[in-house]
Structure formats: C-alpha cells, structure tokens
Structure 1
C-alpha cells in the first residue's frame, strides 16, 4: 500500500509539474472578481483562462469584463481593456497607443490603478494627476460598462466613461471638448486618422482635421434650440445633443426603429467610430443589427477607395482619370515622369524642392466630386485657375485644389488626398491634382551642358530680336487670354451684355450660375409650363447632361439689390435636406431672375390628393405628412438662421416616384425686398392656410408655418380642400341645427329641410368630431375600411393642435415630427383656442348660401371683406381669407 501511495503521489506531482510547464497559463488562471480592493496585481499571464481571455473583473451580471488582452490572437501586444462579453467587442482601452507584454503588471493600490511595462516603468495611471487627496479603496465595473474608482466614502475618483476611445455606450455622456478617435484597424487599436468631434453647434466627423459629415445632415435629425451644445448622449430612441444647463435638447437624431428595452438587459447598444471613418450605432441582442450609419453613402468616406481612388454608386473602385494602379494597388500618375509629392515641412521650399517649373497639375473630369468641398471655406474668392494654382504651388503641404469658374472660389486640398466620387448635383467645381517631376541622375549633367558662353556672347542685334519676339508673343498671349475670358470662362461664360447688372461678386456658397441661353435650350424656349403663381411661372426643362429640372421665372423681386439677391441665393443653395427641393442654380438676364430646381415628376400634392386616380392610400398620406413635417422642422431649427416658409400648402408639397416628399419654395420669402413688407398678407401666403396673426399685425414666427401645416394635414385626412363646400348627412336635422345655434354657426335651413344635410367647413367639422370622439367620420370616405383608427386620431389631434389661434399654444415642427413618429406624446387640443373655427364655419356657410341664391363667390367675398363680422371678438379677421379657395401665390 505504501509503495502504491508513493507511486500515486509521484504521478500526481509529475502531472502537476507537466501541467505547470506545458500549460502554465490555464494552470494559474485567477478568479474573476465582482469588485477589487487594494492591493491587487493582474497581468495577462496571471489571469489567462482556457478561452485566452485575461479577465479579472466583471460587472454584476457579467455583461462586461475588465481584461488584460490582445486585440489579435497571436499578437504579442497586450492592452488593459473593458470588453462586452456577448459580442467580444472592446468598448474601452487604457493604453491603446502603448501596448505591453503578457507579463506586464497592472497594480491597484491606494494611489489608484497603474499599468507598467516590462521595465517596471508606468505607462498609464488613473486617476492620473488628480488633485484629490482621497485614497482609492474600491474598483468596480458597472453594468453600464463604466469602470470606476471609489474612495472610502464611495466618492468617484475616476471613471472610464470620462476617457472614451472609439466607442460610446448607451447613457455615456460625451462633453464638448472630448472626441472619439478611430483605431488604425480592427487588429490594431492604436489611434487612427478619424475623429468624431463634438462642438457647440454640431457633432462632426473629421479626417486629418478636415470635416466630411455632421449629425444634423441625417434625415431624422432636427434642431430644437439655437443654443450652445454641452454634451452628447445616446439612448435606445436616438442620439441627443444637450445644452441649456443640461436640460434642453439642441439637436436630436431619432432612430427609425426605436424599441422598448425596459427589463431587457440582454440588449446592448453602442456607437463606434469605425477604422474606415464610418460612425455606426449597433444594437445587439439575439442578433446584431446596425441601426445608424453616417455618412449613409460609403462613397462619401474620405478613403473609401484609397488615395485618388474613384468610388461609384455601385461600390466599385478605380483610379481617377490620368492615374493608374501600380503593383502595390495604389493610384499613381500615368505619366511616369511625374509622381505625387511626398510629405514636407510647411516651411520648406515649394514642391519639395522641385521648384515651380517641376510641378504639373492633372485636370480631373468635371463630374468628379471631393468629400471636403461641401464643408470647407474657399481660401480665395474671385480668382482664376492660374491664381488658385499658384496658391497651391507656393505651399508644399498642398496636394491639389478645386476651382469654380462661376464664383472664382478656390479650395485647397491639404496634407493628404483621399478618394473621389461622382457628383450627385451639377456644379462647376473642377479638381486639379498636384504632381512633381521625378528627378533622375542625369539632371545635374543636363544643367552643366547648358551653353552659357554663347548666350553671353550673342550680338546686340540678336538680343533685340529676341526681345521683339518675346514682346510679340506676350501681346498675342494677352489678347488670347482676354478672348477666352470673354467667351468661355468668368464673366463671359455666365454673363451676356444684358446681364452685367449682376457681375461676379464673391459670395460664399453661391450655386451654379446658368446662362440665359442654357435655360432657353433646356426648356425649349420656355415651351412647357408646369405651374404659375404670385412668385412667377415654372417651366419644365432638361439640362445638357439629361437631368430634368424645373425652371422658375421670378417676377416679383422689385428693386432687390444684386448683392442681397446673390447672398440669399447662396443661403438657399446651401440648404440640403431629403424633404426639401434642391436648388440647382440660378440665372440673371435682362432684369429677370431664374431659379433652377430639381424636377419632381409627380407634381404637387394637390393634384395627387384632390384629383388623383386611383385615390391616394392612407400609408402614403401618412408618409407625406411626416416628410413635410421633417422638412419644415429642418427649416425652423437646423439652418444657420430660422427660415419661415410663409406659404405652406399642398401646391408647394411635391412628389416623386423615386424620392421622398419634398417642400418647394422654402426660401423665396427671403428674396422679397423691404419695400414689399406691406404686401405680407397678399404676397406671403395663400387664403385657406393663413394664420390669424397675418391679419392682426402680430409678429410672424415659425408658428405661422405650423398653422398652415395643420390646415394641410386636415386636407390630407379628408382628401379635399378644407374650404370646398360639402354636405354632411345628419341622423337628426334638428339635433344638428341645435348644435349649430349652440356653436354660433348657421346651417342652411333649406338644405336641411329638403335633404337632411348641411354645408360644413371641414376644420370646424373635425373639431366637432374630436369633441364627440367620432374620428372615423373625418377620414376620406374613399378609404373606408382601410385606415387604422389610432392613426386617424393621432393625425387629427396633431392637426388641431397646430391650428390653435394663439401661436404659443401650437407645437414646434420638431415636436410635430416627434408626435408623428411616436417619440413624443400627442398633445391635447385646447378647445378654447379653437373656438374661432366656429366663427369661420358660420361665415363659410353664409357665403355658400349666398352663392346658392345667385351671388357670385366674388360678390360674397367682397361683402364680407367690407362688413367684417360685427359683434364677434374675431371680427377683425378677414374671415374669407380662411375660407376662400382663391390662391394668392398659386402653385409653384
């Protein structure tokens, strides 16, 4: 027995001996703690387990772990990280730029956390240089993923949420001044070239310091307040920029598929700045789902196809013209005698010592776009191509430039040059890439072979001949340059003699300037009219590249100054939103102004809604209501200056088969001169949609558009004009007559007597049905049985809230969007502020009765415009400006 025991003991000892030397890591793996107190030491070698994870601390539910780990299996570089266990995603790293070895220790003492290298030199510590005199006593990893250090009084000394890397977790705040920095790659967590930067105005994406995207560009983003941003936070409904002492939303970007995660701890959401510069938000539960990405077009990423690569809409990559791919797969000049300039010191000589004569600029195609021009300010205004080229040649950090012939804007490309893409809108910006001559070993010999002596010994007559030839060449070149300027570029290309009233003025952001001849050719000499109104007439056209456009000839600008006109055109031209019609360019000719817009092939909402066949379905109506609200919210909240449309109506809401609903004419109110302010009522609105404040000398604000939107929303629900006469069947004529007398409006007794019907003013009828809870009766009868009752109730209540008589009771358009999307509770209409509709309903009925008795609508209108509404508090209003279908500014 003793020998057997001895053999067994020796066998056990040998087993553990071999396990220790052959599998040392798994043999000595330490436990995973829920909390740590000093002193404590961890290393990858000490805490590695069978899965290869050096985890030593976990959150209460093991959702997150603190580990010493490598980002790539087999790598000898190790990092102190926090990992989301389910997805194995690193959400925070302490030493991303300074990796350590597997034996490097992390020590937790009363002074905090310190990570050392193999030489026992500290490379990272927390709380770092904190002025706190308290000692660290507890290290915790919260269920939110936040790693925190506490003192003995449970005061937080340090937290990982205050030092973000490339990831932002749900509930984590990103203050102004702190940024997310991308990793070099998925396998290398060192800092890359991309930044997610939070400023006081917006959240931006940058590549090497150059902006290429901002959060407010997102179609679901809305600016609520024009106040400085303080921090960014994300939850399961969207991304929010907060200001106003941390209690007001400045900008919000709402997720289209927001979910209720209450009680569901398995769902994890994070925002990450990817190594390629894409800002993504991913939600992981049972499956992983990317719910947000910016930019939404990968071709807008600075390095989507590498340096000088061309990204197409199909996602394919090639080199830009005049460049080809070398053996390394990089784009290089096709002309082998030139190369791309190397990095340089900005204080060194031009072109890396090549001299101005050694520089060659490669002209790119006119249809190529560069990601930064939409976000950069031009370095020079009103200059020609040569001047722009000289600015680039004088600085060795310049890699190329873009130049606009129409405005003379010059944009330089600094330090690094990225990818290009195809232009989505017409622009006369043309790109040029700098290349430098390749030096050869024969260059020095060629310099010494130059015949200096013969030149010195040339006779005087020879020198005179050379001077004469040079002078003649200079005059011919100057004459040719003038001719080119007058016929092909600059003023000559965009201005005829009749257009010199508007010369080239340096206005940042000015869109494309078309010649009158270009518009004549595009519109077939203005042969196809598609709309007209108070602002002018609209014609259909097709540009030389086949793009269909709508050309508006403006006829009511009065004595608008040329600089003011161009400045405001530049403002309108810079407004880009998926629910706003894009301004493509403009033209000035013989005292006339023309605006060129993108073409919407289905025309305006009034045609499709009131006269369309087949009937417009409810789902499309709801999407139109939501898209219109988003466009107005952008104008009110997300532009540099609030823009009030002043003429929201179905005629200015346009439809297209392949794009969302878009609002037109949103900037034309800015183009009216101050002399026309007295024409506000007749020039800046349409009867039937005018808010009460237009006619009472009250202040005009964005809430004026909200009222008009509410009236449009009622028409979307009904499928007819609010002011178009309509009969409504009554179960009891006497009951309705009693209601009419109680509400202060009259019914047609003859009509009621003969047919049991009454003429109605739809906004009043909608109010009555809301009061009685009979929402199904307000829907377009052509949609019977195909409309969700809860959505009808929602839209009707939103519409009534929008048409409150007092502007301050109306919701903002951003709140309207929130109500329609479901993120904001639907408001309750205030009956007191809607009683004015009863007065308009009575006037509408009386005007209709007069028309039935032989009076023309114009006579009825004149009668009530002259006499008003005596004995009613609303008598100061021109009631028929609410109930007439005659339009002042007309369709556009």
Structure 2
C-alpha cells in the first residue's frame, strides 16, 4: 500500500509539474486545463508565438469566483475575447480540447459551452499573433475560429462582418451579456440598448462617407477605423482619428459596459482613447438610470420625480400614492382606468423617439393614452401636438435628455403610473361602494339602525357647515388674488418640485438661519427632512404679476442644468411670499473667499474660478433653448463649494422683478461698478452686458481686491485720497465715501500699456504667478470691457481663450479710452468742490453741475431696466 501511495504521489506531482507549462502557439487534442491546474501561472496555459496574446482560465477580479476561458492582450492584460461569458465555471472547472473540438465543463462534469460539431477531426488548436483562436484538421483546414464569434471587442486587423454584433459586458467584474450592443449593418453601425437603437455611426461628425457601396465589414488598425465596401478594397466610411505615432502602437474597438463605442490605442504602456461615440454623453440611454434627467451638468430628476431611494440611482415618482408598473409579457390583467399618466416636462425627450416610427398617426392625446393603457408592455408615451403622432415607450425605461431642437418642444411625454389606492381596492376585491350592501346583510338590525342614525346626523352637520362657510368671509390676508386655481400650475410644463410652506419653515427653523441677502431677497440655510442641505431664497416685492407668469419663469430656470450653474431644486408659494429652494454651496459667495481675511486664493484656483464662471455664462447665453442674460454678474452671485467648484446663482431672476424693483436695480448692494456703459443709453441690453460685468470680476480675481464701483472722489472732510472701499451696503447716492487713488479698471489699462502685468496681481501671491499667466487674464478682462458691446468677445470665446483653444485677442485701446475719461475727470482740483456724490449706474460719480443731464440718463436707465432687465427670452 505504501508503494502504491508513493506512485500516486509521484504521478500527482508530475501532473502538476506538467500542467504549469505554458504552451507556445499550438496544443493538441486530449488537453485539459483549469485555473487550479495552472494556478502558478494565474491560469495562463497558451501564448501566441510572439507572445502578443495569451489564452487562460481567468476570473475578472481576484475576489470573483467566476472563471472564463479568455484571450487577452499580453502586454496590457486586456481581455479581448471570452468563450463561456454567460456560463462561468469555478477555479476547478475545466477547458478540454478533444478530437471533436473545445468544451468547457463545470464541477459536475456537465458541458456549459462547446464548439459545434465538425465533419473533420480536430488535429490542433492554434493561438495566432493576431489574437485569433483557430481549430485545424490534419490538412490544416480551418474548422472554426474565435474571430467569427466576437464578444465585446474587435482587435487590430480583425474583420467584423455585416450582421455581427458586439455585446458589452454587464460590468468590469461580470463578463455576461450586458444591456448595450453594437451592430454592423450594410450602411452603418448602430448602438442599441435593450434592443432599441439610440445612436448610429453615421450621426458622428467624424464619420465621413466616401462611397455609396454597401458595407461588407469593419476594420480597425494602425491606419484608422474604416467600413469597407463589398469590393473589399474601397472605404465606404472613414472615421477620423489621430494618426498612429509608433509602429508598435496597437488599437482595439469595443463597446463599453456603459454604452459607448470606443477605439483605444496602447502606446507607451498605457491605453489612450482615439475615438469615443456618442460625443454627447447623454445619448447613452441609461447614463442617469431609470427616468434620470441627463444634462451637461450631470444627472438630476425631472419635475415631479426624485432620486430613487432604493437604489440611489435613477428617479422615481415624488407622489408616494403612485407607483411605476413593471413591463409584462403581453397579458393584460389591469383595467385601463387604474392607470394615471405623469407628465415628464416640456423640452425633455426620450432617446427612442428619434429612432422609432409612431405607433399611430393623426390621433388625439386621449387615443394615444388609451393605446398605452391597453398594452401592458407600454410604460409611457410621447404625443406630438402638431403632428398628432403617438410614440409608445415599451418594456424598459431609460434616462431622459434635454431637447436641443425647438421643433421637438411640441412633443409631450407621459409616464404610466398605478394608483396605489386603486391597486389596493382591486386586490381586496372590495370597494367603498360595496360596503353598504355587505353591511346590511351581515349586521344585525340594531347595527343597521345605529348606522342610519349616524349617517343622517353627519349629513345634517355637513349641510350646516357648508352654509356657515358660505356666509363667513375669508380673511383678506389669506387670499392670493393672483392664484385662484391650484390646477393652473399643471398647465406649465417643466416645473420643479413644489415644496410645502411648512416643510420650509421646518427646514430653516422658522427662517432663523440667514446666510446672505441680495437684490432679490434674503437667503436661509435649511435641512430638508431627507437630510439634504439647501439654500432657501425668499423673494420679496414681486409686484402684481400672476401666478402663471411666476410658474413660467420658474419652469425655465428649473430646466437649466449646467455644472457651473446653481441647481434650482424646487419652489414654494405661500400667500404673497415666493420661495426658491437651491442646492447649498458650502463656501458661500466668491467675495467672502476672495476679499475675506482668510488665506489668499492661489492663482490656479482663481483661474479655475474664472473659467467656471465663463462656462456658466456661456451656457446661459448660447446653451439654453431660451437665451438668458444674467444682468447682475458680480462676486456675490458666484458661489463656491468646498472643492472651489463654481456655480453662478440668481440667473433668470430679473424676470421676476416688478417694474418698481427694476428701476432700483442699479443701487442694489454689490451691483455698482459692474454695469456696462450701455445702461446709460437706450441701447438694447444684450449678452455683451454680462461680458462687461465678467471683465470687472476677472480684474478682481487678478488683484484680489474689491472693485469699489466709482472713480476717485475727494471729499471736503478729507481731501486726501483713500485706498478704502465703501461698505458693501452703501448705495453711494449721498455722502459718498472716500475713494481709492487709482480708478480700478484704468489701472489695469495703464499697466497693460506698460507691460507691467505682475504689478496687477494680488501681492499676497508674489513670486507664485508668471508674467504670461497674468498677461493672459488681464488681456481677456480688458477685451471684455470694450465700450462698444458688439466688439466685446462672446462668453463662449472667452472660454476658448482662457482654455487655450483660441489665441488671446489683443485689447483695442481705442475702445478703452472711456476708462481714462471716467478715471481722470474727477481727480482734477477744479472738479473737487462741485462733487456732491450722484452716482450713475455705470459706477461713475457725477458732479452737481451735471445733475440735470444726469437725471435724464438715470431716467433712461430706469426705463431700460424695467423693459429689458431679464434679457430676451
């Protein structure tokens, strides 16, 4: 027995020793491998001759218990092909090569994956340096190859034939089939989610069609990414990509698990992305989860929805009395009247509408609703008002995207929901109307009599209360004349969440936590019941505008989403008060950080703040469907979080001002000094007005000190020029404070002319800023201050100049001469005795001798503000 045991031990050790050998190029039938047998090589058992690729039994991550037969790129360890992707095995599961082909077995010896039957006997398996696994017979005829069965990746030089598909992995740790597919047709490549097309390669601006031939195959290699015609030589479609730098560079094409088609290049031991499509990341149908609203600013929820508390991803209905139904297999068991339809909001689209035909044309909204109600696989629908077309959303719900086409705005979206009360009634099989009959049968006579008496008493009491309420007048303070019909709000599409007044009272501890104030009212810190920290702005003195107009403006503001704009989370109306609920920014406004007593902001942070502010304004001017001019760009309206991320606040609120308020706009705290010269004339206020204000803010970022908003003034009490700024709350109309010795923008102009850019930089940053860095920002700021609005750059151009995409434009001195006039006219001794401190809206103090003409200017400003303060819509 001892001898037998010794022989078995020897054989076992011999087997293990043999199994740890990594074969090169070829293996023959009667070969077995498992991760356990090749554990010393991490499951690797076969390499191509030049070691470009390796075949192995591997798990996606060390902690995973799922193992697959894979081929991976040896240098980067990137998996390019998987055999048993939907039927993983354990570490002891086996790969077997026999005369009939390849088979993979689990621990119970059952085959979970295999190649098909062949008419010839398999003589060998080869792993080629192209990454292709082939099975050969004794005549070296190819019986089978892995290139014919791609998974999620195409390697360099591989032909991807028309009709084939790439299916994304479920996740980096799970190689099973995911939700996204890339399919090649005879005309283009299509990206699909859950079987629904959401993008086509021909839609990409980098996809250039060269021929009208039908496509035969796709290939990616060092020369590019091309769709080849039936002739085999003509390029039908060429996708533009950066050129290959080195001959050793290696490319692959794959469909990512989040729905993007990418071409990756391996160079210098790293992967770089040469191509990714769609460019618009919101085109990925499930980027923000079920019913999540995707925009350039990230993920949020449409009005009437909130983040799904179960998954913390995607959105669910805010109304807890409603639930979203699941799709079915075609069996309808629920009556149509149990469904309600919740609007998605105006300007919000669903990806499938772009690629599917209407379910019905020339029908009414009610017919479209009935079509969805009668189909249990339908989860929502879109209805085109002008086209009278009905589009059904079936089987799955993805993300919502902001429409970029005004013609799509007439399409109204609705999501199917189930009323939980009706669902409960149906489950119980008993409704309220059934009770009297059942009660009369089951209750004794005395019980019936008692119920009858109670019912008669309740009817009499109800009638008395109705009469009493009709006779008793409602106190005037509780009547909102502008809002008589609560259903009016549902006529305005796209409204954000409407909060109850008591919820805001609770969140702000009865408005006892003020964190700021501005021209539109006070701001309070609040904590909602779900622990979300918010900023609650109470808007005062709105005048007599109607509730519908208020809702319209809130809907516009609420549907603006950008990473550099403060997000409006909701609103509240209570009697005459209006409240806006914003996301909370922990660092407060820029003026606190920039002008406060704490550590100085580093130059890098100032530059990022400048770029972020420019991006936000550029989006308001040209990225929204309805252009919005801020009209009050200043540090107080630029907010920061702990990471110094910039978010602009108070955009669009000027539209909410009453005419009386708009006339006082120029004297609001912090506004003086940021208003463009055109406020003094009858010129139309445009987006270039914001550009001027941004230029002033940019100078403040450079110098680290406050723009006092006026030219130098010498007072009778103290004829010595002062370097102090007035208090931020001063209106500047009477008893003007002492001013600085140098007019703020004029100093920048003079330093620019002398090339002394570093003299403008905050002295606290001495030695930490280069002349080139300072010069760039000073020149951009001065370009923004050009007197002629049409010759100022757009905010989009400001962004490109700051980012380096476009060269910085040289400021035009002939358009900045007005700064010398403003800055020098009041420093002359002859002017000192006449100054009384009348301030113009541009921030210039006018002498008393000019008060009459200046009053004309002020009148024109008030008129202009009352008419145009919110900018065009």
Given the two structures, how large is their TM-score scaled by the length of structure 1? 0.51
Q: Which whole-Å CA distance do the structure 2 matches of 1:697 and 1:602 have between them?
A: 38
The question of 1:631 aligning with 2:631 is answered: no
Structure 1 residue 763: Cα displacement: 1.4
Partner of 1:577: 562
The question of 1:867 aligning with 2:850 is answered: yes
Structure 1 residue 799: Cα displacement: 0.9
Question: 8 Å contact 2:339–2:417 — kept in the other structure?
Answer: no
The number of aligned residues is 580
Q: Which whole-Å CA distance do the structure 1 matches of 2:789 and 2:844 have between them?
A: 26
Q: Which whole-Å CA distance do the structure 2 matches of 1:296 and 1:779 have between them?
A: 43
Question: 8 Å contact 2:180–2:255 — kept in the other structure?
Answer: no
Q: Which whole-Å CA distance do the structure 1 matches of 2:632 and 2:191 have between them?
A: 33
The question of 1:665 aligning with 2:639 is answered: no
The question of 1:512 aligning with 2:497 is answered: yes
Structure 1 residue 546: Cα displacement: 2.6
Partner of 1:414: 394
Question: 8 Å contact 2:630–2:690 — kept in the other structure?
Answer: yes
Structure 1 residue 627: Cα displacement: 1.2
Give runs of aligned pairs for residues 680-759 of structure 1, distance below 5 A: 686-723=671-708, 759=741
The question of 1:397 aligning with 2:380 is answered: no
Selected match of 1:595 from 580, 587, 602: 580
Partner of 1:655: 640
Partner of 1:231: 205
Give runs of aligned pairs for residues 180-579 of structure 1, distance below 5 A: 193=180, 209=196, 231=205, 273-277=255-259, 282=264, 284-289=266-271, 294=281, 300=287, 302=289, 343-345=328-330, 352-356=331-335, 394-398=374-378, 414-416=394-396, 500-501=483-484, 503-504=486-487, 505-506=489-490, 507-579=492-564
Give runs of aligned pairs for residues 839-858 of structure 1, distance below 5 A: 839-843=821-825, 845=827, 850=832
C-alpha RMSD of matched pairs (Å): 6.8
Selected match of 2:791 from 809, 812, 832: 809
The question of 1:791 aligning with 2:773 is answered: yes
Structure 1 residue 614: Cα displacement: 2.0
Residues 164 and 800 of structure 1, relative CA distance in 2, 3 Å threshold: farther
Q: Which whole-Å CA distance do the structure 1 matches of 2:655 and 2:789 have between them?
A: 22
Selected match of 1:829 from 808, 811, 817: 811
SS of residue matched to 1:530: strand
Residues 621 and 585 of structure 1, relative CA distance in 2, 3 Å threshold: same
Residues 555 and 414 of structure 1, relative CA distance in 2, 3 Å threshold: same
Structure 1 residue 642: Cα displacement: 1.5
Gaps of 5+ in 2: 1-25, 30-47, 54-79, 85-101, 103-113, 117-126, 133-140, 150-154, 185-189, 209-240, 292-298, 301-307, 312-323, 354-367, 382-390, 401-414, 424-428, 430-436, 463-476, 713-717, 723-738, 862-868
Question: 8 Å contact 2:194–2:396 — kept in the other structure?
Answer: no
Structure 1 residue 501: Cα displacement: 3.9
Residues 568 and 854 of structure 1, relative CA distance in 2, 3 Å threshold: closer
Partner of 1:779: 761
Q: Which whole-Å CA distance do the structure 1 matches of 2:290 and 2:579 have between them?
A: 38
SS of residue matched to 1:805: coil
SS of residue matched to 1:545: coil
SS of residue matched to 1:354: coil
Q: Which whole-Å CA distance do the structure 2 matches of 1:665 and 1:671 have between them?
A: 11
Structure 1 residue 522: Cα displacement: 2.0
Partner of 1:641: 626
Q: Which whole-Å CA distance do the structure 1 matches of 2:192 and 2:672 have between them?
A: 45
Q: Which of 183-192 and 830-839 deviates more?
A: 183-192
Residues 806 and 596 of structure 1, relative CA distance in 2, 3 Å threshold: same
Structure 1 residue 510: Cα displacement: 0.9
Q: Which whole-Å CA distance do the structure 2 matches of 1:725 and 1:683 have between them?
A: 15
- Give per-residue Cα distances to partners, 1:521-574, cap 9 Å, x unaligned: 222222233322322222222222232222212124322222221122011111
Q: Which whole-Å CA distance do the structure 1 matches of 2:830 and 2:393 have between them?
A: 66
Q: Which whole-Å CA distance do the structure 1 matches of 2:615 and 2:129 have between them?
A: 35
Question: 8 Å contact 2:494–2:555 — kept in the other structure?
Answer: yes
Q: Which whole-Å CA distance do the structure 2 matches of 1:230 and 1:700 have between them?
A: 37
Partner of 1:768: 750
Q: Which whole-Å CA distance do the structure 2 matches of 1:465 and 1:858 have between them?
A: 88
Question: 8 Å contact 1:166–1:274 — kept in the other structure?
Answer: no
Q: Which whole-Å CA distance do the structure 2 matches of 1:837 and 1:196 have between them?
A: 62
- Give per-residue Cα distances to partners, 1:642-698, cap 9 Å, x unaligned: 211111001101122146111100121233468977777668992211122222222
Structure 1 residue 516: Cα displacement: 2.1
Q: Which whole-Å CA distance do the structure 2 matches of 1:276 and 1:715 have between them?
A: 42
Q: Which whole-Å CA distance do the structure 2 matches of 1:848 and 1:661 have between them?
A: 45
Question: 8 Å contact 1:399–1:415 — kept in the other structure?
Answer: yes
Structure 1 residue 287: Cα displacement: 3.2
Q: Which whole-Å CA distance do the structure 1 matches of 2:799 and 2:760 have between them?
A: 22
Structure 1 residue 809: Cα displacement: 2.1
Residues 560 and 288 of structure 1, relative CA distance in 2, 3 Å threshold: farther
Structure 1 residue 710: Cα displacement: 0.8
Question: 8 Å contact 1:268–1:283 — kept in the other structure?
Answer: yes
SS of residue matched to 2:609: helix
Partner of 1:406: none
Partner of 2:4: none
Question: 8 Å contact 1:522–1:541 — kept in the other structure?
Answer: yes
Question: 8 Å contact 2:49–2:129 — kept in the other structure?
Answer: no
Q: Which whole-Å CA distance do the structure 1 matches of 2:82 and 2:838 have between them?
A: 78
SS of residue matched to 2:486: coil
Q: Which whole-Å CA distance do the structure 1 matches of 2:807 and 2:788 have between them?
A: 21
Q: Which of 583-592 and 816-825 deviates more?
A: 816-825
Gaps of 5+ in 1: 1-20, 25-47, 54-68, 78-84, 91-100, 106-114, 118-143, 149-159, 168-180, 198-202, 215-228, 235-258, 305-311, 314-319, 324-338, 346-351, 362-369, 380-387, 402-410, 421-428, 438-446, 448-457, 483-494, 728-747, 882-888
Q: Which whole-Å CA distance do the structure 2 matches of 1:166 and 1:877 have between them?
A: 69
SS of residue matched to 1:689: coil
Given the two structures, how large is their TM-score scaled by the length of structure 2? 0.52
